[in-house]
Amino acid sequence: MTENHGVGGSIPPLGTISERNQSGGLTSTEIRGEAKVPDTVSDLPTPALILDRSRLERNAARMRSKVGTLGVTLRPHVKTSKSIDVLRILAGGAALPITVSTLAEARYFFAHGVSDILYAVGIAPGKLPEVADLIRAGCKLRVILDTLEAADAVRDFAAAEGVPIEALIEIDSDGHRAGVASDDPLLIEIGRTLGSNLAGVMTHAGASYDCRIRAEFEAMAEQERALTVEAAERLRAVGLPSPIVSVGSTPTLHYARGLAGVTEARAGVYAFGDLVQAELGTCAIDDIAIGVIASVIGHNRRHGRVLIDAGFLALSRDRGTADLPIDWGYGAVCDPVSGEIIAGVTVSSTNQEHGIITARSGEIDLDGFPLGSRVKILPNHACATAAAYDRYFVTAGGCQIVDVWPRVNGW
């Protein structure tokens, strides 16, 4: 197991809602805009985002066990949860380094005691002053890049400001989005340009989401590992240190059979799971930890539609299951109390504030969805759905609300 690089010791607990005011956190009044948090999911104003803590804990423990078997450091991607409370569950009492997708996340988590942070979006030169401010404050914040121009900008800014900004070179391990190929001469040019600012290499095999069977997932995980390790070895061969070799996506990490040469693995959506992950086999439907509680606001009897108050702003526009074995439309419809999927129906379309539930057969039992009743919608993509909300209403495996956890949004 490689060394962890998070905040020293475990992340301190934030305490209950009522205790947070004294520790600089949020009270229930500040979080909800009212004095009393609703008792159950049936009492929530809708739409509302709920989080099953027991499922979150199970998902977190499974991933910690997996990376322990693989012998690498886990660097959770907090873009999914954007919550220090969730990170405490993911960390399981350890001091984990993290991955962020925005500088707002970096500021928030650093303020909550996390010091080792990878900003895993290609760095824009205009953001370097904010990166430098965090580093001066004591945050070990690293950036990523894949161009000579960005390497020049990081090197020159760091030298001019006297700030040690470390960068990882992003490797294209799948032809999916960004990065430098492991055998491209540009890799060495970027490394030499960075010089002492070079910290290593990283990749994200987003093409893993195109895989469908275990053999394909395992092959993609090995391709991600092998090409990134190859890039690090090429840099080292010309005298350019590459201590960090970082890989990761939830599918590749789930299916990886070995990570020789890798120092850390990044994943995020495993914390919550979603319908895409269930279709890819990285979790079961019963592992999905978040959902949106919505109210039935109308019936269109002529067209066999149930209308709910969760549209694309509440559920997202993500249609990630469209090309998977089961197309869940814009989300799976569940009983709000038991959490059981209501067979034969789905959120088939959305408008800004309207969701439309229809039956796959074409005939829906409108009496099963009385006006004002509640449903729970499981998301296609947990990251995209959660992004619409500023808090989680937390349950302990049932419908009782036991806590409210704030999220950080914005950039």
Digits of tens for pLDDT over the chain (411 positions)? 333 334 333 444 444 333 333 333 344 334 444 447 889 999 999 999 999 999 999 999 999 999 999 999 999 999 999 999 999 999 998 899 999 999 999 999 999 999 999 999 999 999 999 999 999 999 999 999 999 999 999 999 999 999 999 999 999 999 888 999 999 999 999 999 999 999 999 999 988 999 999 999 999 999 999 999 999 999 999 999 999 999 999 999 999 999 999 999 999 999 999 999 999 999 999 999 999 999 999 999 999 999 999 999 999 999 999 999 999 999 999 999 999 999 999 999 999 999 999 999 888 999 999 999 999 999 999 999 999 999 999 999 889 999 999 999 999
pLDDT of the residue at 349: 96
Q: What is the pLDDT of residue 53?
A: 98
Q: How many CB atoms lie within 10 A of CB 69?
A: 11
Q: Hey, what are 163's tokens?
A: 């700030």
**Domain at 11-55+272-411: CATH code:** 2.40.37.20
Tell me whether the omega of the peptide bond preceding residue 406 falls within 30 degrees of 0, making it cis. no
- The sign of the torsion formed by the CA atoms of 182, 183, 184, 185 equals positive
Instruction: Give 376's strand partners.
Output: 293, 334
Going from the C-alpha of 52 to that of each of 40, 74, 76, the distances in angstroms are 12, 22, 19
CATH number of 56-271: 3.20.20.10
The pairing of beta strand 355-359 with beta strand 290-300: unpaired
State whether residue 190 is helix, strand or coil.
helix
| Residue boundaries of the structural domains of the chain | 11-55+272-411, 56-271
Give me the torsion for CA of 205, 209, 210, 214, rounded to 10°. Answer: 90
Measure the CA angle with vertex 108, ends 379 and 34; round to 5°. 70
Q: 103-111 vs 128-136: helix axis angle to the nearest 10?
A: 10
Say what the pLDDT of residue 27 is: 40
Measured distance CA(136)–CA(400) in Å, rounded: 43
**Are 246 and 203 spatial neighbours (Cβ–Cβ below 8 Å)?**
yes
Beta-carbon contacts of 59 under 8 Å, excluding residues fewer than 6 positions away, are: 270, 271, 272, 273, 283, 287, 289
Same fold, 11-55+272-411 and 56-271: no
